[in-house]
Structure 1
Amino acid sequence: MSPPQPRRVDPKIWRACAGAAVQIPKLHSRVYYFPQGHLEHASPSHYLNPLLRSLPFVPCHVSSLDFLADPFSDEVFAKFLLTPLSQQPFPNDTTEARNEEEKDRENGVVSFSKILTPSDANNGGGFSVPRYCADSCFPPLDFRADPPVQLLSVADVHGVEWRFRHIYRGTPRRHLFTTGWSKFVNHKKLVAGDTVVFVKDSDGRVSVGIRRAARFAAAIETPQPPPAEREGFSRSATGRVTAEAVAAAAESAARNAPFEVVYYPRTGFADFVVSAEVVEESMKCAWVGGMRVKIAMETEDSSRMTWFQGTVSSACASENGPWRMLQASYHFL
Structure 2
Amino acid sequence: MITLSLPSANGGTKILLSNPLIPSLRLWVNKETDEVYTQVTLLPLQEFSMLNEEGKEVRQERNGSSSVKRTTPHMFCKTLTASDTSTHGGFSVPRRAAEDCFPPLDYKQQRPSHELIAKDLHGVEWKFRHIYRGQPRRHLLPTGWSIFVSQKNLVSGDAVLFLRDEDGELRLGVRRSARPRNGLPDSVTEKNSCSNILSLVANAVNTKSMFHVFYSPRATHAEFVIPYEKYITSIRKPISIGTRFRMRFEMGDSPERRCAGVVTGVCDLDPYRWLNSKWRCLLVRWDEAFMSDH
Moved more, 94-103 or 246-255: 94-103
Q: Does 1:79 align with 2:39?
A: yes
SS of the aligned residue for 1:67 comes to: strand
Q: Cα 1:268–1:258, aligned 2, differ >3 Å: closer, same or farther?
A: closer
Q: Does 1:247 align with 2:207?
A: no
Q: Does 1:179 align with 2:162?
A: no
Aligned pairs (5 A) from 1:14-93: 29=1, 31-34=2-5, 58-62=15-19, 63-64=22-23, 65-87=25-47, 89=50, 90-91=53-54, 92-93=56-57
SS of the aligned residue for 2:18 comes to: strand
Q: Cα 1:156–1:171, aligned 2, differ >3 Å: closer, same or farther?
A: same
8 Å contact 1:226–1:239 — kept in the other structure? no
Instruction: Give the total of aligned pairs.
Output: 263
CA offsets, 1:109-164, max 9 Å, x none?
12211122222223455111122321211111111122222211111122221111
Q: Cα 1:119–1:74, aligned 2, differ >3 Å: closer, same or farther?
A: same
CA offsets, 1:260-304, max 9 Å, x none?
011222187225332321111123142557736477xxxxxxxxx
1:169 Cα shift?
Answer: 2.0
Aligned pairs (5 A) from 1:188-267: 188-215=152-179, 226-227=184-185, 229=187, 242-252=193-203, 254-255=205-206, 256-266=208-218
Aligned pair partner of 1:154 in 118, 137, 140: 118
8 Å contact 1:163–1:180 — kept in the other structure? yes
Aligned pair partner of 2:128 in 164, 181, 193: 164
Tell me the distance in 2 between the aligned counterparts of 1:252 and 1:258.
Answer: 10
8 Å contact 1:55–1:254 — kept in the other structure? no
Relative contact order: is structure 1 or structure 2 higher (C-alpha 8 Å, sep ≥ 6)? 1
Q: Cα 1:55–1:214, aligned 2, differ >3 Å: closer, same or farther?
A: farther
Q: Cα 1:268–1:225, aligned 2, differ >3 Å: closer, same or farther?
A: closer
TM-score, scaled to structure 2? 0.71
Identity %: 34
SS of the aligned residue for 2:202 comes to: helix
8 Å contact 1:125–1:182 — kept in the other structure? no
Q: Cα 1:147–1:195, aligned 2, differ >3 Å: closer, same or farther?
A: same
Q: Cα 1:269–1:101, aligned 2, differ >3 Å: closer, same or farther?
A: farther
Tell me the distance in 1 between the aligned counterparts of 2:5 and 2:8.
Answer: 13
Q: Cα 1:216–1:68, aligned 2, differ >3 Å: closer, same or farther?
A: closer
Q: Cα 1:60–1:147, aligned 2, differ >3 Å: closer, same or farther?
A: same
1:178 Cα shift?
Answer: 0.8
Aligned pairs (5 A) from 1:108-123: 108-123=72-87
State the AA in 2 paired with 1:286.
Answer: I
SS of the aligned residue for 1:281 comes to: helix
State the AA in 2 paired with 1:251.
Answer: A
1:75 Cα shift?
Answer: 2.4
TM-score, scaled to structure 1? 0.64
Stretches of structure 1 that go unaligned for 5 or more consecutive residues are 1-28, 36-49, 218-223, 231-237, 296-306
Stretches of structure 2 that go unaligned for 5 or more consecutive residues are 249-255
SS of the aligned residue for 1:135 comes to: helix
1:68 Cα shift?
Answer: 2.2
SS of the aligned residue for 1:106 comes to: coil
